[in-house]
Amino acid sequence: MLNQQIREVIQQFRTVLPAEYSTLIEQGAGEISALDIIENALKNGDEAPDFALLNHIGHLRKLEDYLQEGPLVLTFYRGVWCPYCNLQLKVYAERLNEIMGAGAQLVAVTPEKPEAIAILESTGAPKDVIDMSVGNLPFDVLHDNGNSLAAKFGLEFELPESHKTLMKELHIDLVALTGNQRFVFPDPATYLIGSDGLIKWSFVPNNYRKRAEVDQILTALSEL
């Protein structure tokens, strides 16, 4: 299961990273979990905000166009600098045929620029922490410039100072990756949007180390 794999990565980091890094990670994780994201986020029955965003190859993608073909699974992720995001995207890609077989499309949304991997490689981000192999995913990855769509979903939060310090120590330039200096990212929520534009199912963890399992998504699709 995806979350079991995430727990294994967490344990691995605790083993290989310097103690001061682990302290920064846990401090920031606690601050994030104390935010009111779950209370503020859109929920089942709410109308999904409209959007028109560019995908990773520069093509404009609109919500209405996706919904003409059926329900949409919309998942938010922070960026390729986040190991848990990379693991999630890989698992989703591996099981994309199951999601599509259930009648839905899958789309990922991030505030990160499409050229993020190249930026990371040029700035010396540690390859034992950042998986550079994520790329050429078999589904649309949309650039949410300025995190505007995430804000409409109520998912926006500012990275804690402890995590900003950690990113600096790891040579991960978040300003270069996102093109802005706000250090604002989305909670890694996943939504199922029906053809009528209403949210049918939602997973809002308020915990960047917990993600929606594909089996949960498939169950939600089977109940439409």
Count of domains forming the chain? 1
* 0.75 surpassed by pTM: yes
* pLDDT, position 114: 87
Q: In which domain, by residue range, is 100 found?
A: 2-222
Q: pLDDT tens for residues 66-92?
A: 999 999 999 999 998 899 999 999 999
Q: Is the pLDDT of residue 129 over 70?
A: no
Confidence of residue 119 (pLDDT cuts 50, 70, 90): confident
Q: Is the pLDDT of residue 134 over 60?
A: no
Q: Is the pLDDT of residue 131 over 70?
A: no
SS3 letters across the chain: CHHHHHHHHHHHHHHHCCHHHHHHHHHHHHHHHCCCHHHHCCCCCCECCCCEEEECCCCEEEHHHHHCCCCEEEEECCCCCCHHHHHHHHHHHHCHHHHHHCCCEEEEEECCCCCHHHHHHHHCCCCCCCCCCCCCCCCEEEECHHHHHHHHCCCEEECCHHHHHHHHHCCCCHHHHHCCCCCEEECCCEEEECCCCEEEEEECCCCCCCCCCHHHHHHHHHCC
CATH of the domain at 192: 3.40.30.10
Q: pLDDT tens for residues 154-210?
A: 999 999 999 999 999 988 999 999 998 999 999 999 999 999 999 999 999 999 999
Q: pLDDT tens for residues 85-106?
A: 999 999 999 999 999 999 999 9
